[in-house]
């Protein structure tokens, strides 16, 4: 039986996860210390926790002893539940009067399809609450000592998905990267590793200089964290050579160069584990 590890005290005015309700919560990037108080409360109160593949096992270990864990993960190229099936299951659980925590890696509504699940719950008349989480893009940059914004470098940052949706004919959709490249803002790419070479080439065709700094942060905020700093023209080749695998975030832009000014005193993954 699991022992609940809820913080010793929580604000008295926090909402409670009620029977028949669903919380769509972000589990953050991995490190359980980055959970929100609402996510911690949901873990302690839920009867059923429907979780994704990218939810860290240390986060799931915080579930209350009454909680049933249901896996509903989707990983690219592997058999998995459909989005429709997952939404249907959430509705079924709520209608059975269970207290349901839908737990997603990062933030549920940043490339997490939490919005689709919220729409399905709303259509079914199921009460729900969206609990934001620390999105992987911001967490990965912070873990690598790369600020998302710096006044002297950039006034905007772009989040983009690096996977390609299927068009009606079954072919990959072509995304126009030119408008993003023209902004000069850092581009933070999610779900990109399988298409990194293609996207890097597209960004260079769109006007990004080949020597533009680029970085990959894999398994951010965990003991398996790995960081590669490169350039746009070389990052895909170097990632292959060093066997970088998902989950990983890629950032392209001059902001990556700021890392060199910060890494001397930044905590390593091992340091964060000990703290």
Q: Is 36 exposed, middle or buried, given 0-12, 13-18 or 19+ CB atoms closer than 10 A?
A: middle
Dihedral sign from CA coordinates of 202, 205, 206, 212: positive
Please answer whether residues 106 and 112 qualify as being in contact, where contact means their C-beta atoms are separated by less than 8 angstroms. Answer: yes
Region class of 125: left (phi > 0), else alpha (psi between -120 and 50), else beta: left
Catalytic residue among 31, 52, 56, 107: 52
Any catalytic annotation for residue 5?
no
Backbone angles phi, psi at 129, to 5 degrees: -140, 135
- Check residue 4 and report its DSSP letter: P
107 labelled catalytic: no
Separation of first and last alpha carbons in the chain: 27
* Calpha distance 220→170 (Å, rounded): 33
The reply to whether 47 belongs to the active site is no
E-strand stretches of 132-261:
158-161, 187-190, 213-218, 226-231, 248-252
Q: Which of 5, 47, 74, 204 is catalytic?
A: 74
Angle between helices 114-123 and 83-95 (to 10 degrees): 50
Question: Residues 56, 104, 107, 191: which is the catalytic one?
Answer: 191
Hey, which residues are catalytic here? 52, 74, 191
């Amino acid at each position: 039986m699991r022992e609940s590890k809820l913080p010793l005290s929580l604000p008295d005015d926090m909402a409670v996860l009620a029977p028949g309700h669903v919380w769509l919560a972000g589990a953050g990037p991995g490190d359980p210390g980055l959970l929100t108080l609402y996510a911690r409360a949901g873990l302690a109160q839920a009867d059923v926790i429907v979780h994704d593949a990218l939810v860290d096992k240390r986060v799931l270990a915080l579930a209350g002893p009454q909680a049933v864990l249901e896996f509903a993960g989707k990983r690219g190229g592997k058999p998995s539940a459909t989005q429709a099936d997952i939404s249907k299951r959430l509705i079924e659980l709520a209608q059975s009067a269970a207290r349901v925590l839908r737990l997603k890696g990062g933030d549920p509504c940043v490339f997490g399809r939490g919005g689709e699940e919220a729409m399905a719950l709303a259509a079914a008349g199921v009460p729900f609450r969206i609990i934001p989480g620390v999105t992987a893009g911001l967490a990965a940059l912070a873990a690598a000592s790369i600020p998302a914004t710096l006044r002297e470098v950039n006034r905007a940052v772009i989040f983009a998905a690096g996977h390609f949706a299927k068009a009606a004919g079954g072919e990959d959709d072509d995304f126009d990267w030119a408008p993003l490249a023209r902004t000069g803002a850092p581009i933070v790419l999610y779900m990109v590793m399988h298409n990194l070479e293609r996207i890097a080439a597209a960004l260079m065709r769109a006007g990004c200089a080949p020597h533009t700094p680029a970085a990959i942060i894999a398994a951010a905020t965990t003991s398996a964290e790995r960081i590669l700093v490169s350039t746009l023209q070389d990052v895909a080749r170097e990632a292959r050579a060093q066997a970088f695998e998902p989950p990983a975030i890629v950032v392209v832009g001059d902001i990556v160069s700021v890392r060199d000014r910060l890494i001397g005193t930044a905590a390593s993954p091992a340091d964060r584990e000990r703290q």
